[in-house]
Structure 1
Amino acid sequence: MELRLAAANRGIWKASELQRMLAERGLVISAGKMSGLWSGQPISVKLADLDVICAVLGCGIDELLIPEPDAVTASAPKEAPQQAVGQSHRVTPRAPRGWSLPPT
């Protein structure tokens, strides 16, 4: 996230100044969350919060967010365990405590 750069381009040099401006628009951000946003490493950002940030800075989301497709890892498809040909696997139900098994 490039919040610091977008803010600097508009003459906002301190996180506390932007935090105050956001609060004036109804978005109250804790010091810890503001630190994460300002450093470019936020844990999470709500889309509604991005709307307020963009309105305060007069910018688009594309100026704040930087795509990082290389950071996304593809998950390998899960394979079902294979049984040897000709072998069958029999499941024997166990009765819960206090219950009897159904008739066979």
Structure 2
Amino acid sequence: MKWNLRWVAARRDIWRPTDLLAAFREVGFTPSLSKVAALWGATPVTIRLDDLDRICQALQCTVADLLEAEPVAGQQGEQDGTRAAAAGETLAGAPERPRPVPRTEGPRRRRPPN
């Protein structure tokens, strides 16, 4: 996902995290300045849906303006490889996965005490 908070804020003539915090407070959203700076500086790993709703309300935008889906590099090949491995097939050039060897010699393992 691409996080477009700075672009959306720029459309409202907001250029600094402190200005963004003031816009949030106008709609009753009061995060800390450090949280606003983290949202401003990087793509958040997680975000609460009610916070996302308040951000949209403060910036007069939609979730689609803030979040933009983008393809993940190499995702198609990984999906095909996962399907082949799940089906028990080996990929060309990939080493075969080790298989457990049934135990035929020696004493049987005892169960651990309860």
Equivalent AA in structure 2 for residue 7 of structure 1: A
- Quick one: structure 1 residues 26 and 72, their matched pair in 2 at CA, closer, same or farther if it must change by over 3 Å? farther
Measured in 1, the distance between the counterparts of 2:40 and 2:108 equals 58
Q: Look at both structures and tell me which one has the larger radius of gyration over its CA atoms.
A: 1
Q: Which residue of 2 aligns with 1:92?
A: 110
TM-score normalised by the chain length of structure 1: 0.68
Q: Give ranges in structure 1 of 5+ residues lacking alignment.
A: 97-104
Alignment check: 8 A CA contact 1:7 1:13 kept: yes
Identify the structure with the greater helix proportion.
2
User: What residue ranges of structure 2 are gaps of 5+ in the alignment?
Assistant: 87-96
Structure 1 consecutive aligned stretches of length 4 or more whose deviation exceeds 6 Å: 77-80
Deviation at 1:52, TM superposition (A): 0.6
Secondary structure of 1:69 counterpart:
coil
- Tell me, yes or no, if the aligned pair for 2:4 and 2:67 is still in contact at 8 Å: yes
Hey, what's the Cα distance between the residues in 2 that align with 1:91 and 1:80? 22
Alignment pair present for 1:56 and 2:58: yes
Q: Work out which of the residue numbers 28, 32, 35 in structure 2 matches 1:33.
A: 35
CA RMSD of aligned residues (A): 3.3
